[in-house]
Structure 1
């Protein structure tokens, strides 16, 4: 995070409400919820659960199937609990607790598609300043300060590397809003999923006595129905890929910022169609002390976890 006082950092997962019953979507687009396909992008289809295949090879990915159809992740596979992989880091890592504490959201740090292991791919050390009124655009400005050291250091963020990070598997539960039916929320103004005694401990030493410097990785399937939205508010880096394609980009070290995925407005770019199942791959990093908030809101109520290479 950057050093200025942070507003509530919240990652808002607003998961679009889907029914968890089986069966084909009805004529009113009241589609039962299910998990979506997993895998790299494939010109409009989600991926099957299983091997990710090569990016852009639809033959390796498969037909995502109808929402609620057999094998699509509906029925008893539905849940509002996210399985999460956290990786703890030390301040000695060149990308964590950097001397430069950030100057706002940067885009263009990662490629617009995932690799064959469903991990984000390094693109640039500097990127571009975000045009925050849009999910992916940049604004014209000259910047020179790197916010990632190199491809080699970035590749350690979401992979198990002995001596560099320590990995923990946990859960994050979305709760239905008490005031807005069909909206599902996780909200933490002190998002420290790793206890002070876990991993490398309290890194770096800080007045909160909390375990900063970690990454968050989540892989899901979901059913796409019209009207779905996904809102994130928080820090630091956050990248979300839908159907293997970058859908939200809030990279770099920054204070709390908001990003929204409007599935209908972005459907063509993401290659998605209502009534089908698709992958959602989420990557977050907490890289600087001061504060850590994670707020998610969505009207998707039903999704299933996906196992990926570690």
Structure 2
């Protein structure tokens, strides 16, 4: 290969001589030309690299700017949406809280009103009433204290109610209409084979403002019940026992008119005494006038214990008139 190159060079030299040129110079020019081309190529590459670098920087800047803008927009949008979401969430929470508070307040208020407005016992019955619920006991004609001696008989019971909330017998031999303590103690106690108990309601009606009354001139609440009428038109032989209470507010009056025996105790003390077998008689308790004797103080709640007996044919009158508007069970 070297031999070929040498021959080419010799031929070129001969040609240059013929043309009047220095083959060495020509070779040098040719070398310079190749260098120039190489430099040009290198310069182009550098320009390309610079342009490429510029493009890269431009791309990087564009990408960076685009990324920044995108990030900024995304951040702004996200922040805005997040803020909106938080605002909506807070609004929803506030609305929920207000709704919850409203419901809770409404429920609480409703419960309070119900508890306040409803004044009843656990059984759902209003304890304040003008309906009385006495116990009636039926006796047979054969009982020693029924269909016997007649007349007023005021010494049958003590002035103080017994510890068992029953009248204490104080009679015989000074009370001709009764036959002794044992028989009397059967009047207001359940005794098998001697009496039969029933509960009956007695309703006091308001007959004028602040005045309540029950009035029955044919008071036979157990006709054809218990031992029956025993050949009579009505069942004439029974007793009646009632326990109730009231609040003393001043001005109360309690009046009874009837036959036969009737005793009313207030705060355990005898206030009306209509003992004996007789026609209709009347007795009254003015609470203010008798407050000292009965031990009453304004605002206090006191027991009323009421004992009645129908012991003889042919009438039975029973009338209660009072200004007490609220009776409570004991």
Q: TM-score range by the shorter chain?
A: 0.5 to 0.7
The reply on whether 1:125 has 2:172 as its aligned counterpart is yes
Matches within 5 A, 1:130-141: none
Matches within 5 A, 1:99-248: 100=149, 102-103=150-151, 105-125=152-172, 127=174, 146-177=176-207, 180-196=208-224, 198-203=225-230, 205-206=231-232, 209-248=233-272
Report the Cα distance in structure 1 between the residues aligned to 2:127 and 2:173, rounded to whole angstroms.
41
The reply on whether 1:82 has 2:132 as its aligned counterpart is yes
For residue 126 of structure 1, report the CA deviation from its aligned partner.
5.6
Count of equivalent residues: 210
With structure 2 as the length reference, what TM-score do the two structures score? Answer: 0.61
Work out whether residues 126 and 147 of structure 1, in 8 Å CA contact, stay in contact via their aligned partners in 2. no
Unpaired stretches in structure 2, ≥5 consecutive residues? 1-115
Moved >2 Å (runs of 4+): none
Work out whether residues 153 and 176 of structure 2, in 8 Å CA contact, stay in contact via their aligned partners in 1. no
Deviation sequence 1:59-89 (CA, Å, 0-9, x none): xxxxxxxxx9x99xxx931011101100000
Report the Cα distance in structure 1 between the residues aligned to 2:301 and 2:246, rounded to whole angstroms.
6
For residue 302 of structure 1, report the CA deviation from its aligned partner.
0.4
Q: Which residue of 2 aligns with 1:252?
A: 276
For residue 273 of structure 1, report the CA deviation from its aligned partner.
1.1
Aligned counterpart for 1:96 among listed residues 146, 153, 160: 146
* CA distance 1:285–1:125, change in 2 (3 Å): same
For residue 275 of structure 1, report the CA deviation from its aligned partner.
1.4
Report the Cα distance in structure 2 between the residues aligned to 1:305 and 1:289, rounded to whole angstroms.
32
Report the Cα distance in structure 2 between the residues aligned to 1:169 and 1:119, rounded to whole angstroms.
17
Q: Which residue of 1 aligns with 2:98?
A: none
Structure showing greater Rg? 2
Between structures 1 and 2, the one with greater strand share: 1
Work out whether residues 83 and 218 of structure 1, in 8 Å CA contact, stay in contact via their aligned partners in 2. yes
With structure 1 as the length reference, what TM-score do the two structures score? Answer: 0.65
SS at match of 1:118: coil
Q: Which residue of 2 aligns with 1:32?
A: none
Unpaired stretches in structure 1, ≥5 consecutive residues? 1-22, 24-67, 128-144
Report the Cα distance in structure 1 between the residues aligned to 2:312 and 2:154, rounded to whole angstroms.
18
Q: State the superposition RMSD in angstroms.
A: 2.0
Report the Cα distance in structure 1 between the residues aligned to 2:159 and 2:209, rounded to whole angstroms.
34
Aligned counterpart for 2:300 among listed residues 271, 276, 281: 276
For residue 258 of structure 1, report the CA deviation from its aligned partner.
0.7
For residue 195 of structure 1, report the CA deviation from its aligned partner.
2.5
